[in-house]
């Protein structure tokens, strides 16, 4: 597996593994032992970068990732996230809804829980999951600076943050990475985010690089999603919009046929060509998909091919928002 560097010094595999889907959003879920075997197989295949969060399945995802990666110690990089007040869940396991919170005391409570669940004495990369409008980003950055000095955090980052927020945070405590959605069917980061990250020397970690599996070619105009599947709540996957959006899927499949590869590898290979400091984290629960995805690091495009792809993408209009309305409200704009 090829390696890349986020920020100034965090070396990771060119393609990571998003672990959320092992326990939430995209059923069916594997049993614990199967999930552990899959994550460990990813390490054998060369993946060294794994993404989780305390809020995924109310701590269960971190526990899974921690147990699966315990044998590998510092040979792997684990990224997790804070940014919610988990309330009584910390102590009583209640179903109380989580709320945005990046108060210093909330962050410190969060990291102690994450360290325990991940079975580590430090967090490799610690993201603020969502921006808390009630807490100045400078205060958050100061808290992370303290945690870095204490050795509990090695690197920190932001998720779904506006460029103005990134600049303010970076000025107080340098960021190593920013995580946001970016793919062939969501290219908004190209306008402001990528130039800002390049200027500041911050790495970029695109989540949903396969468009929540849309770009793999698995879905067509007749696909429907069960209510337990997160995609059923996303406007661009809903009836009417989906039928329009398959135009992009067909185009990616066409590119894959031309290069005798798979649509997933085309999508990931394209992302990797955009900047050398981009590290996508596709999520999957199956070893064969991990094997397929890491092959995206070997896909090459000529300058002429990239220009043709960009021109074609510019001619395709994707219909529908990328989040349900209640989650759109949490984004930093």
pLDDT tens per residue, range 124-172 = 999 999 999 999 999 999 999 999 999 999 999 999 999 999 999 999 9
* Res. 97 pLDDT band, cuts 50 70 90: low
CA angle, 36 then 41 then 46, to 5°:
135
C-alpha span between 178 and 186 (Å, rounded): 16
C-alpha span between 117 and 127 (Å, rounded): 16
Bridge partners of residue 126, in order along the sequence: 80, 156
Instruction: Please give the structure tokens belonging to residue 195.
Output: 């130039």
pLDDT tens-place string over residues 24-74 = 988 899 999 999 999 999 999 999 999 999 999 989 999 999 999 999 999
Out of 26, 29, 56, 182, which one is annotated catalytic?
A: 56
* Highest mean pLDDT of the ranges 88-97, 232-241, 247-256: 247-256
Give the pairing of strands 10-13 and 3-6. antiparallel
User: End-to-end alpha-carbon separation of the chain, Å?
Assistant: 36
Average pLDDT, stretch 91-113?
80
CA angle, 2 then 213 then 216, to 5°:
70
Above pLDDT 70, what percent of the chain?
A: 97
Q: What is the pLDDT of residue 263?
A: 97
Q: What is the pLDDT of residue 131?
A: 96
Say which residues have a Cβ less than 8 Å from residue 279's Cβ, sequence separation at least 6: 4, 6, 12, 13, 14, 15, 16, 49, 177, 203, 204, 205, 206
Does residue 56 carry a catalytic annotation? yes
* Res. 88 pLDDT band, cuts 50 70 90: low
Least confidently predicted of 108-122, 232-246, 248-262: 232-246
3-state secondary structure of 203: strand
CA angle, 168 then 321 then 210, to 5°:
85
Q: What is the pLDDT of residue 332?
A: 84
* Res. 240 pLDDT band, cuts 50 70 90: confident
Closest CA to 127 of 23, 54, 74: 54
State the CATH architecture for 3-211+274-299.
Alpha-Beta Barrel (3.20)
* Res. 89 pLDDT band, cuts 50 70 90: low
Cα dihedral sign for 243, 251, 291, 60? negative
Higher pLDDT, 326 or 63: 63
Question: Residue 154 CB: number of other CB atoms within 10 A?
Answer: 17
Rg (CA), the chain: 19
Residue 331 pLDDT exceeds 90: no
Instruction: Please give the structure tokens belonging to residue 272.
Output: 């990797």
Average pLDDT, stretch 257-264?
97
Q: What is the pLDDT of residue 91?
A: 47
Closest CA to 291 of 64, 47, 24, 75: 47
Give the pTM.
0.94
């Amino acid at each position: 597996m090829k390696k890349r560097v986020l920020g100034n010094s965090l070396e990771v595999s060119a393609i990571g593994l998003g672990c959320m889907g092992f326990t939430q959003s995209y059923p069916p879920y594997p049993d614990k032992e199967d999930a552990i075997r899959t994550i460990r197989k990813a390490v054998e295949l060369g993946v060294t970068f794994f993404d989780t969060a305390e809020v995924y399945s109310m701590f269960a995802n971190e526990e899974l990732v921690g147990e699966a990666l315990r044998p590998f110690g510092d040979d792997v990089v684990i990224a997790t996230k804070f940014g919610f007040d988990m309330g009584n869940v910390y102590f009583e396991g209640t179903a109380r809804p989580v709320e945005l919170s990046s108060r210093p005391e909330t962050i410190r409570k969060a990291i102690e829980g994450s360290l325990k669940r991940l079975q580590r004495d430090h967090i490799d990369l610690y993201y603020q999951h969502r921006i808390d409008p009630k807490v100045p980003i400078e205060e958050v950055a100061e808290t992370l600076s303290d945690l870095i000095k204490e050795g509990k955090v090695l690197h920190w980052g932001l998720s779904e943050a506006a460029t103005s927020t990134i600049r303010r945070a970076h000025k107080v405590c340098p960021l190593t990475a920013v995580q946001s959605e970016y793919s062939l069917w969501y290219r908004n980061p190209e306008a402001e985010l990528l130039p800002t990250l390049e200027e500041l020397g911050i790495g970029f970690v695109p989540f949903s690089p396969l468009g929540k599996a849309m770009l793999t070619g698995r879905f067509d105009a007749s696909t429907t999603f069960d209510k337990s599947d997160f995609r059923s709540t996303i406007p661009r996957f809903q009836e009417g919009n989906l039928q329009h959006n398959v135009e992009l899927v067909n185009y990616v499949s066409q590119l894959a046929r031309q290069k005798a590869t798979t649509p997933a590898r085309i999508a990931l290979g394209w992302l990797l060509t955009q900047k050398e400091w981009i590290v996508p984290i596709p999520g999957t629960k199956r070893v064969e998909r991990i094997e397929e995805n890491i092959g995206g690091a070997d896909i090459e495009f000529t300058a002429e091919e990239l220009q043709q792809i960009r021109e074609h993408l510019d001619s395709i209009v994707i219909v529908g928002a990328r989040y349900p309305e209640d989650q759109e409200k949490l984004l930093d704009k």
